[in-house]
Structure 1
Amino acid sequence: MKNNQFAIETVDKATEQKELRAIHFIDQTVDKLTDPVAVWQVLLDKTFLQAKNQTVLYQKLNNYLATPQLALGDFFERNEALTNEIFYRVALQLLEFDVDSDFDLNDPLAALKKIQLTFVSEPIQTKADLLHAWYLLLCTHTKNGQTYLDKLAQDGYFMPFYAQTTAPLFFNGKAQAVFDPHQLIRDVVYVEAPLDTDKDSQRDLLKVEILRPKQTETGYQAPVLYTASPYNQGINDEAGSKMMHNVDVPLKAKEPRNVSYEEIRYHEPTPELPKKRVIKGEQKEADETFAMESPYTLNDYFLTRGFAVVYAAGIGTKDSDGIRDTGGVAETASTIAVIEWLAGNRTAFTNKTDNIAIKAWWSNGKIAMTGRSYLGTLATAAATTGVAGLKTVVSEAAISSWYDYYRDGGLVAAPDTFQGEDMDVLATEVFSRMQNPGDYLKIKDFFNQVLAVMTKDQDRETGNYSRYWDERNYLNNVSKIKADMIMVHGLNDWNVKPRNVGNLWNALRDVPVTKKLILHQGQHIYVNAFRSLDFTDMMNLWFSHELFGIENHAKELLPDVLIQDNVEPETWRTYEDWQSPQAKRQTFNFEAKELVPESVPVRSAAASFSDHLDDETFDFYKKHLAVWQRDLLTTNHDTTGENRLRDNRLIFKTSQYDQDIYIDGRVQLKIRVAVNEPFGMLSFQLVDYGDAQRLTVSPTVLAAKSLSGTYDWRRDNLREFTRQKESTPWKMITNGHINLQNRHNNYQVDELKPNDFYDLTLELQPTFYHLLKGHQLGLVVYATDFGTTIRGNQELQYSLQINQCQLSLPLK
């Protein structure tokens, strides 16, 4: 394995000793000692929390080896000298690395270097040397994905601190688990939003669930991690399934329209609102509590470290007012209304009837937003308002423009595995007011009217970008962002596709906030419980700085761009940028089945493919998308004989590369194409061809329910991408789609004459990809994408004038 730690702050030895005293490793006993071996024994004694007497402690110590032939307890009995080899031989065992399989007992220092663990290279000869080595050991990750200090916290080290804790305790710039999670206070309040989305002549009230430390009752004010989750109060799976759209419909010719962006730009209206509720009183304590929220394990980690956590589902959800309107400005307004209340700038009530106000008196007014997918999307949306109190956002797999989620290049383009879903379907799924029948009765007819308008405005007929989509494009307001931004995204996420984070990263270049980017090899996942990366520690360093004001060099220590390698397991590399405009480019011309360097003359003139399949094959592929993908990319015969897609795509390959390359950014295509009808579409996949044991598509669970960072608290699975057991012949790197009538942009519609050739330029989804020496790069050109586009199965014939086609590759 490889350890990648970025959140270790370098401090002077005086600070190290001060912090070791604060967490009780240095005490009066240690103060009286001078011998480093004796100090080491006292420190170790404090870590064996299960031992209640010296007999058990000696027994525990002898489970470890100080030398290849001598147990640790016996080592202390003999009073032998301490060496770096002895200290780190024991350290590796304390860090849960296995003898022989993970390290050689005879050479522990070599293992430290190979695993990339932090250690001191100078001889450990004095008490000060020993304390320095111990401090770094507490900051170092175990084999099982947490710092040694967090492992001790999970074993119960900080339990004695609970009774005396009145404020956060920081070690190495990070908040520690000194707050008892079993003493959390759980409140429900109802924030009054500046909205009346259900048109009942009252401002919408939004249910907010709060978890805060008990210490807030006695004067402590906590910073807040706020997750806006439309799923928090439940989802309507069955209702959503009934709303799914049929995708087996024909592509149609669109009426040409020459429009400018100004004609479809969204301008926010200023609707008249009902007056605010008349406050009839104020109280400090909430009227309502709750048993269990829908948690995020990263938030759970921070609940024991002095942070409060807030969840709100927003308008149109169970126990809240309003209706859902996916991605609209009202949804953003409901999201930031909670922030405004937490920062002291908006009113909330103890219940929905009595108009008794309640303040967030326990909040220090500094808020961070967290969450993945729709949750991260709302965090991004909130940031683009510049709302006061929002200090930072950690958005994972977040949408930056809803058009880029449900559309692509003038086409209806489903997120991965959700063929037929759209804005109206998602609104139905999260409209959890349905789950309170009495409440739903009042709003059902109005919501159905709103849903009908949404279905019309989302416009599955054309797939064009419009004023409706412009309202839901958060990139329009990036210049308003005041919060520091951390963006996390999977390079293999075909649900929220990489263009969403790529466009946001580019848009933030000139915005005067700190921005960080983490790109992993996952699909649509969280990465806070991965073995190879100290993501949780990084966020602890970040939040401790942003919300507590700790000067811990977080902005300097965390890399601007951190990317997980797709070839070497557990390898993360730092970069200054992603998709740099100054990237070097390698250009290829199309040749018959080949991609040749731009300098090579092209002989071939044309190539063609069909988009029609016989009914039996078409129906088979609809039900077996993995087989469709295999046949699409495979150039040889499948197990049943002839490849059924051989006439339905073109494949162009480079020669084998003579060295590794790194693709960094957006692959650009110039295509000259004709189709036999006045409508058409093209799809593209860039592919790595070459046998290799690639990383698993989904992370492997290494240890189930093993991580919490706190004693007797909620646990998460330790995960990691591992090598597949079998070699695979290819891997899709990135893709893209375009309607041939939207060849200039997503809102202008051009005429398309049958059999006339047209030039178009497009960019595939941005990527970062390590292509191995000996592999080939391939471009697959086709039309219907069974997993993404509509599937008309029409008699369409496409021709490429390949001597006028090019591929431009951005290289790191």
Structure 2
Amino acid sequence: MKNNQFARLTADHETVVAELKAIHFYDDQMTCVTSPTEVYQLLLRKAFLTTKDNGSFTNKLKNYLATPSLDLKDYFDSKQPVTTKIFYLVALQLLEFLVTEDFAIDNPLEAMHRMQLPTIETNDNWHKDQLLDAWYLLLTTHTKNGQTFLDRLTNQGYFIPFYDLPVREKPLFFNGKAQAVFDPAKLVREVVYVESSVDSDCDGQRDLLKVEILRPSDTEHGLRVPALFTASPYNQGINHEAGSRAMHDVNVPLQAKKPNRLTYQEIAYRKEKHSLPAPRVVTGETRHAAETFSREHSYTLNDYFLVRGFAAVYSAGIGTLDSDGVQTCGDPQQTEATKNVIEWLNGKRRAFTNRTDNIAISAWWCNGSVAMTGRSYLGTLATAAATTGVDGLKTIISEAAISSWYDYYREGGLVIAPGGFPGEDADVLAIETQSRMKAPADYILRIKDFFTKQMDQMAQAMDRESGNYTTFWDARNYRKDITKIKCDVLMIHGLNDWNVKPGQVEALWQGLRNVPVSKKIILHQGQHIYINAFRSIDYTDMINLWISHELYGVQNGAKEVLPNVIVQDNLVPETWTTYSDWSNPNSDKTVFHLAPGTLTEECSSDSIQSFKDDSPKDDFERYTEHIDQWENELISNQKQALRANRLIFKSAPFEKAQIIDGKVTIHVKAASNQPFGMLSFQLIDFGEEKRFNPSPTPIQRMELGCNWREDTLREFTLAKFPTPFKMITKGHLNLQNRENPWKVNELMPNQFFTFDVPLQPTFHKLAAGHQLGLIIYATDFAMTVRGNQAVRYSIDLSDCHLDVPFQ
């Protein structure tokens, strides 16, 4: 195991003592004790929370080794001094590491260093101040099971006596981070209905948005807390069967498109002017909600912070169960509705206690500061809200978020499925999340006809026939408004996420370069996943440090302490490295020319190579049913079925490891024998290697507080057996959209054209001895339409090169 902690703060001795006093680890009894050994025993007594008397404490001491030949009881009886070796032998046991498996009892410091656990070291016998400094550091150090030692004590009940602290002494911060001093059994659960500034169902009334709130009961006694707001269209349930029925057929031919001379200005979205219905007439005001709920569809990161002084707020938004309106899949109305909930939390909009009585209720319990959390669609709406510049939104923590819906369902003039969902499109997602369907009377009697018409219109506007960038997609492009962002932005994304591809976050990262806000990014080796329960990185601690500063104003140096860029290594498990930047557009590129079968830094070949797109019927049907087989056979030299369907180029083996940092671009000169065509590209890491398993390995359950909720601790592990290759990144282009995705060019059969195709950005380490490979092909069974057409493509290698941003 390797421990990677980025949120742990270094404290001077004065701060150490003050903070240990604040959490009652250092008290008046210890102040009068001068012997480090006696202080050490008192600290351990406080840490052994399950022992209630001297006998049980003594028995507990007998379970811990202080030296290779003494347990802790015998050590204390012997009156020996505290030394570095003794302290850290005990520390490793407190941190749940195992003898032999994790450390040797005669050399604890070797294990501490190997596992990157922090130490305070001196050859002399320790004095009291050194002991207190070391104990403070130990409390902030991660255990073998992914949480700080203090969090482990928290889960055992350490902070239960703090539940009754007066509100003036809450929240409580230690090492710059909020602590679990709020009673989860007394959380207030309430529902309100925010009146929005949209009428998406055109019923003549402003849409009401159901909002579920969980907040500490201390707010009933004067405490004001910030809100973690998760906007999740999935929150009130989804329509699996309706969504499945709406899926589009992808086994359709690619069609020639009529050329146009469109400019961006002609397809740019311009805000439509609609007369908004008058607001409801308020009939009264109250501080007490009229509705509650039992168990929300929660996000475990929010669960962790609920007992640490933050409210959790969930809203599914327009078109969902118990709200008004219709789903619109990321359009300005959905953005506005999301923004409106933030405005209510910030005291600048009203909500009602129910849908009929018009009794207003404010977010009187909120301090006006909001952070948005969540992954995928949830992170997408956080990004969308941020681009409005709404007051009160202090930060977004956007995980695997979409920044442009065109790049989610389209690419380069092609219809492209998000990885794992061939046939999905904007209308399918809208249908799947229109959870008003779950209330039959509301849906059938009030909204079904209107929603059906809206979906018909959406199907036309999203234009699956062309795959072009249109006004429909421009309305769902949040990147145009990045300069309006006023909140700080923390981005998290998987480098192997082929659902929401890495280009989504890279475009946001690039757009924020000159925006005067703090921005950080974490890139992991996962697919479309959360990483808040990973063992090897202190992700939750980083978020704690970040939002304690952003939402409570704690001066903990979060913006300076947390690195700009953190990247998980793709070769060595449990390794995270910091960088100052990612995908710098001004970085140098290494140019590889294409020769038959080869990527070379020498001059280009004058060869022309060709490949076909269609497959025998049996193979085609097999690939549509087993995309993993297609993926493997496309890349593998051992497979013959697709040999005529792609071109493979490989570099010479690298003498030393190389890091690809950013966006690889391929310049191509190509022709199709039809008046239409598409090309796909994959960048491959060739070389025998034990690589990470695609999904993280579950380790054990992990508590998020005392008698509170749990999560699953996970970590990426190496596969048992080596594999010969790994796909690094990919890209696609409709050959009629050579200039941009809205302008359609004519494609003359057998005539060569040149164009550049950027692949999805990446951060990938090629091991020494490995080769960089490029595959050129057409139909991507995982993403593009699959017409199995008799199209033949020719590549003129004399004008082809691959530009790679090596570090």
Letter in 1 for 2:462: Q
Contact 1:592 1:604 in 2 (8 A): no
- Matched with 1:693 is 690
Task: Report which stretch shifted further, 118-127 or 29-38.
Answer: 118-127
- The alignment of Structure 1 onto Structure 2 pairs a total of residues equal to 803
Q: Return the alpha-carbon distance in structure 2 between the equivalents of residues 110 and 319 of structure 1.
A: 58
- Matched with 1:268 is 271
Letter in 1 for 2:30: V
Q: 2:641 aligns with which of 641, 644, 660?
A: 644
RMSD across aligned positions (CA): 0.8
- Matched with 1:368 is 371
1:790 is aligned to 2:792: no
Query: What SS does the aligned partner of 2:423 have?
Result: coil
Q: Return the alpha-carbon distance in structure 1 between the equivalents of residues 733 and 803 of structure 2.
A: 17
1:715 is aligned to 2:695: no
Contact 1:707 1:718 in 2 (8 A): no
Query: What SS does the aligned partner of 2:544 have?
Result: helix
Q: Return the alpha-carbon distance in structure 2 between the equivalents of residues 681 and 165 of structure 1.
A: 67
Deviation string for 1:293-316 (max 9, x for gaps)? 100000000000111110000000
Matches within 5 A, 1:317-356: 317-356=320-359
Q: 2:173 aligns with which of 170, 173, 178?
A: 170
- Matched with 1:569 is 573
Contact 2:17 2:132 in 1 (8 A): yes
The change in CA–CA distance for 1:758 and 1:284 in structure 2 (over 3 A counts) is same
Matches within 5 A, 1:445-524: 445-524=449-528
Contact 2:573 2:718 in 1 (8 A): yes
- Matched with 2:440 is 437
Matches within 5 A, 1:652-691: 652-691=649-688
Q: 1:260 deviation in Å?
A: 1.0
Deviation string for 1:54-73 (max 9, x for gaps)? 11111111111000111111
Contact 1:318 1:433 in 2 (8 A): yes
Q: Return the alpha-carbon distance in structure 1 between the equivalents of residues 396 and 166 of structure 2.
A: 28
Deviation string for 1:443-487 (max 9, x for gaps)? 000000000000100100000001110000000000000000000
- Matched with 2:299 is 296
Q: 1:551 aligns with which of 555, 559, 577?
A: 555
1:579 is aligned to 2:580: no
Query: What SS does the aligned partner of 1:477 have?
Result: helix
Letter in 2 for 1:94: L
Q: Return the alpha-carbon distance in structure 2 between the equivalents of residues 125 and 534 of structure 1.
A: 29
Letter in 2 for 1:387: V
Letter in 2 for 1:635: N
Q: Return the alpha-carbon distance in structure 2 between the equivalents of residues 509 and 582 of structure 1.
A: 13
Contact 1:64 1:90 in 2 (8 A): yes
- Matched with 1:590 is 594
Contact 2:594 2:605 in 1 (8 A): no
Q: 1:707 deviation in Å?
A: 3.1
Letter in 1 for 2:121: S
Gapped runs of 5+ residues in structure 2? Answer: none
Q: Return the alpha-carbon distance in structure 1 between the equivalents of residues 166 and 712 of structure 2.
A: 29
- Matched with 2:261 is 258
Letter in 1 for 2:330: G
Query: What SS does the aligned partner of 2:589 have?
Result: strand
Letter in 2 for 1:361: W
Q: 1:342 deviation in Å?
A: 0.4
- Matched with 2:742 is 747
Q: 2:623 aligns with which of 616, 621, 624?
A: 621
TM-score (norm 2): 0.99
Q: 1:11 deviation in Å?
A: 2.1
Deviation string for 1:741-774 (max 9, x for gaps)? 0011111100000000010111000000000000
Letter in 1 for 2:693: T
Q: Return the alpha-carbon distance in structure 1 between the equivalents of residues 143 and 283 of structure 2.
A: 55
Q: 1:124 deviation in Å?
A: 5.4
Gapped runs of 5+ residues in structure 1? Answer: 638-642
Deviation string for 1:124-175 (max 9, x for gaps)? 5211111000000000000100000000001111111112252200100000
Q: Return the alpha-carbon distance in structure 2 between the equivalents of residues 603 and 293 of structure 1.
A: 62
- Matched with 1:772 is 767
Letter in 2 for 1:792: G
Contact 2:679 2:735 in 1 (8 A): yes
- Matched with 2:157 is 156
- Matched with 1:13 is 13
- Matched with 1:135 is 136
Contact 2:664 2:804 in 1 (8 A): yes
Letter in 2 for 1:732: M
Contact 2:81 2:126 in 1 (8 A): no
- Matched with 1:809 is 804
- Matched with 2:536 is 532
Contact 1:7 1:537 in 2 (8 A): yes
Letter in 2 for 1:223: P
Q: 1:602 deviation in Å?
A: 3.6
- Matched with 2:637 is 635
Letter in 2 for 1:22: A
Query: What SS does the aligned partner of 1:725 have?
Result: coil
Query: What SS does the aligned partner of 1:741 have?
Result: coil
Q: 1:258 deviation in Å?
A: 1.1
Deviation string for 1:258-280 (max 9, x for gaps)? 11111111111221011000000
Greater than 4 Å deviation, 4+ residue runs: none
Letter in 2 for 1:537: D
Q: 1:728 deviation in Å?
A: 0.5
Contact 2:685 2:773 in 1 (8 A): yes
Q: Return the alpha-carbon distance in structure 1 between the equivalents of residues 109 and 166 of structure 2.
A: 38
Q: Return the alpha-carbon distance in structure 1 between the equivalents of residues 805 and 125 of structure 2.
A: 49
Contact 2:180 2:307 in 1 (8 A): yes
Deviation string for 1:35-68 (max 9, x for gaps)? 0010010000111111121111111111110001
Query: What SS does the aligned partner of 1:17 have?
Result: helix
Query: What SS does the aligned partner of 1:674 have?
Result: strand
Q: 1:220 aligns with which of 208, 220, 223?
A: 223
Q: 1:121 deviation in Å?
A: 2.0
Query: What SS does the aligned partner of 1:811 have?
Result: coil
Letter in 2 for 1:522: G
Q: Return the alpha-carbon distance in structure 2 between the equivalents of residues 618 and 603 of structure 1.
A: 33
Deviation string for 1:418-455 (max 9, x for gaps)? 00000000000000000000100210000000000001
Matches within 5 A, 1:95-244: 95-122=95-122, 123=124, 125-166=126-167, 167-244=170-247
Q: Return the alpha-carbon distance in structure 2 between the equivalents of residues 810 and 258 of structure 1.
A: 33
Deviation string for 1:196-248 (max 9, x for gaps)? 11111111000000000000001000000000000000000000000000000
Contact 1:225 1:308 in 2 (8 A): yes
Task: Report which stretch shifted further, 105-114 or 406-415.
Answer: 105-114
Letter in 2 for 1:810: P
Contact 1:165 1:179 in 2 (8 A): no
- Matched with 1:763 is 758
- Matched with 1:640 is none
- Identity of matched residues, %: 56
Q: 1:582 deviation in Å?
A: 2.5
Deviation string for 1:468-516 (max 9, x for gaps)? 1000000000000000000000000000000000000000000000000
Task: Report which stretch shifted further, 101-110 or 444-453.
Answer: 101-110
The change in CA–CA distance for 1:344 and 1:124 in structure 2 (over 3 A counts) is farther
Letter in 2 for 1:651: I
The change in CA–CA distance for 1:124 and 1:450 in structure 2 (over 3 A counts) is farther
1:735 is aligned to 2:730: yes
The change in CA–CA distance for 1:544 and 1:124 in structure 2 (over 3 A counts) is farther
Letter in 1 for 2:617: D
Task: Report which stretch shifted further, 735-744 or 48-57.
Answer: 48-57
Query: What SS does the aligned partner of 1:584 have?
Result: coil
Q: Return the alpha-carbon distance in structure 2 between the equivalents of residues 212 and 227 of structure 1.
A: 14
Q: Return the alpha-carbon distance in structure 2 between the equivalents of residues 484 and 602 of structure 1.
A: 46
Q: 1:604 deviation in Å?
A: 4.5
Q: Return the alpha-carbon distance in structure 2 between the equivalents of residues 583 and 147 of structure 1.
A: 38
Q: Return the alpha-carbon distance in structure 1 between the equivalents of residues 746 and 604 of structure 2.
A: 30
Matches within 5 A, 1:46-85: 46-85=46-85
Contact 2:483 2:515 in 1 (8 A): yes
Contact 1:408 1:737 in 2 (8 A): yes
